[in-house]
Amino acid sequence: MNLKKNKNADFVKSSHHVRFAVQSAFTITLIIGCLNTISVAAEAPAGFDNGSNGFVLQGDFNNDKVLFEKRHTVAGGLGPVYNAQSCADCHTNPITGGSSQVTVLRAGIYDGKQFTNPPGGQVIHDRATHPSLQSVVSDKWNVRSLRLSSNVLGAGFIEAIDDRTLKAIAQKQPQQSKGKIKGQVVMADLVEVPGAKRVGRFGWKSQHASLLSFNAEAFRSEMGITNALFPTENTANGRSVTKYDTMVDPENNGWEVALITEFVRATKVPPRDLKLAASKEAMAGAKLFSKVGCDICHTATLTTAPSGTLVNAGTFTVPAALASKTIHPYSDFLLHDIGTGDGIVQSGGLSTRSKMRTAPLWGLRTRTRLLHDGSALTIEDSIKRHKGESTVVTQQFNNLNTLQKKQLLVFLGSL
Ligand code: HEC
Ligand code: HEC
């Protein structure tokens, strides 16, 4: 297998200077602000510190975070069927906006030719305000999936990645892997612009392309709160919930979704464990990560679009705080078949059935359960589960000696 040369070397070297980079980011932003003609890629602000990344002022960030953490009640539109009471019920570790062990249940029907959603949709709500509305999985629905709550910290930078950047990665992968690896670009509907699509990047299946689309759907699907973009109430496995729904739809006029989206966009990216990252072992491990080919999918470095770029079909202008930033998400945000796919079809059609998005590895050290369904409990187990497109890379991992494996795991533990 013709694995590419170690393009991580620069990043590994620069990880010493993360602290410096964060400090100087402010200066660089000022310079860009003054000149506004040159485009210098600076490291995105990183930290588990509840600080704004500069997209909004810290005071606004704090107020928006209160909404992300707000526990909704029936009087505020919660339910009648739902999964949890606040965004932060599920996105919480190690700070608000992180991931958690909470799973969401999905199901569907696959007859060998076609995938169909069950009555009422593929999200099966775990909670209801009345027992007659309890949803359950039917024996007839042969596709069943648990999905862990993913991290949203740093998502504003992911949204600011140009479609072309992700498409270019997909194009390059076959030649990096003797044709074994080819990420699938998913074109997702932008809910806020009917008819418009953009390269999907959010969710375990890259099913959404914009944070407004994702968050508005989460509001309706996870908490049962209808809003301008998702004005139709959930049902209980297709049964109407009207009898127990006292509020007029849409229950939220959209300002809350907008402010929650402002919060998500303003979060900093998950930081490395700087001490561990600077250790000899982690630095050797970073080289091995690239050498065995993990980074063909788990892309170490991406750069966001320049300031002023119009994204989301022209509805969002990439602001200076999110623009021309270097990020290290360790994902290509493309779908791959590594043999773990959950069979669920969302954006992108039937060809995505057995694929999952390359899990971003930033913040990995805060995760207790791995793979979309938490079916791997150690990092090494999750690597060994990589088959399909990743078979050759997994073999290369297995061929590492004990010291090299340890180095790679120390590196992963620093993410
Ligand atoms: C019951 C738990 C739960 C609640 C409540 C919840 N989420 Fe999530 N969230 C998830 C799960 C599970 C995923 C992964 C979704 C998938 O791909 O199936 C996710 C994914 C996301 C993502 C995509 C991150 C990525 O890159 O994959 C965003 C953004 C998000 N949620 C925002 C929100 C917002 C905003 C709220 C509140 C309005 C919210 N979530 C409420 C469980 C939850
Ligand atoms: C062909 C693309 C591909 C390659 C190569 C690859 N991965 Fe992955 N990786 C994925 C996908 C896709 C997932 C998500 C699978 C799922 O959720 O079912 C994943 C998940 C993971 C996870 C779990 C993360 C989480 O949050 O649950 C870890 C850890 C991981 N990969 C590490 C590695 C390492 C280390 C290597 C190299 C030895 C590697 N991967 C090679 C595509 C790849």
**Distance between CA atoms of residues 135 and 181, nearest Å:** 39
The number of the ligand nearest the C-alpha atom of 88 reads: 1
352 band by pLDDT with thresholds 50, 70 and 90: very high
Query: Coil, strand or helix: which one is 184?
Result: strand
341 band by pLDDT with thresholds 50, 70 and 90: very high
Ligand 2 atom at minimal distance to the Cα of residue 355: 12
Which pLDDT does position 2 carry in this prediction?
A: 42
Position 76, amino acid: G
Q: Is the CB of 91 under 6 A from ligand 1?
A: yes
Is residue 88 within 8 Å of residue 68, measured between CB atoms? Answer: yes
Q: What is the whole-number distance in angstroms between the Cα of residue 263 and the centre of ligand 1?
A: 14
Strands, E assignment, 111-261: 115-116, 127-128, 143-149, 187-189, 197-199
Query: Coil, strand or helix: which one is 406?
Result: helix
Q: Atom 10 in ligand 1: which residue has the minimum CA distance?
A: 149
Closest among 325, 388, 384 to 353, alpha carbons compared: 388
Q: What is the domain partition of the chain in residue ranges?
A: 9-413
Residue to probe by mutation, ligand 2, list 382, 389, 391, 395, most atoms within 8 Å of CB: 382
Is residue 324 within 8 Å of residue 294, measured between CB atoms? Answer: no
Which pLDDT does position 40 carry in this prediction?
A: 66
Residue to probe by mutation, ligand 1, list 96, 103, 152, most atoms within 8 Å of CB: 152
Bridge-partner residues for 210, per DSSP?
A: none
Q: Is the CB of 210 under 6 A from ligand 1?
A: no
Residue to probe by mutation, ligand 2, list 180, 288, 297, 396, most atoms within 8 Å of CB: 297
If you average pLDDT over residues 309-314, what whole number do you get?
98
Checking if the pLDDT of 32 tops 50, the result is: no
Q: What's the pTM value of the predicted model, to 2 decimals? A: 0.92
Q: What is the whole-number distance in angstroms between the Cα of residue 317 and the centre of ligand 2?
A: 32
C-alpha R_g of the chain: 21
239-254 pLDDT, tens digit each: 999 999 989 999 988 8
Q: Atom 15 in ligand 1: which residue has the minimum CA distance?
A: 203
Which pLDDT does position 273 carry in this prediction?
A: 98
Better pLDDT: 37 or 401: 401
CA–centroid distance for 248 within its chain: 32
Supply 112's token pair.
């060998």
If you average pLDDT over residues 324-334, what whole number do you get?
98
- Backbone φ and ψ for 117, nearest 5 degrees, come out as -80, 145
For the chain, the maximum distance between any two Cα atoms, rounded to a whole number of angstroms, is 63
Strands, E assignment, 111-152: 115-116, 127-128, 143-149
Checking if the pLDDT of 3 tops 60, the result is: no
**Distance between CA atoms of residues 378 and 319, nearest Å:** 38
Q: Atom 20 in ligand 2: which residue has the minimum CA distance?
A: 359
Q: What is the whole-number distance in angstroms between the Cα of residue 219 and the centre of ligand 1?
A: 9
Which pLDDT does position 253 carry in this prediction?
A: 80
For residue 358, the 8-state DSSP code is P
Q: What is the whole-number distance in angstroms between the Cα of residue 200 and the centre of ligand 2?
A: 18
192-240 pLDDT, tens digit each: 999 999 999 999 999 999 999 999 999 999 999 999 999 999 999 999 9
5 band by pLDDT with thresholds 50, 70 and 90: very low
Checking if the pLDDT of 13 tops 50, the result is: no
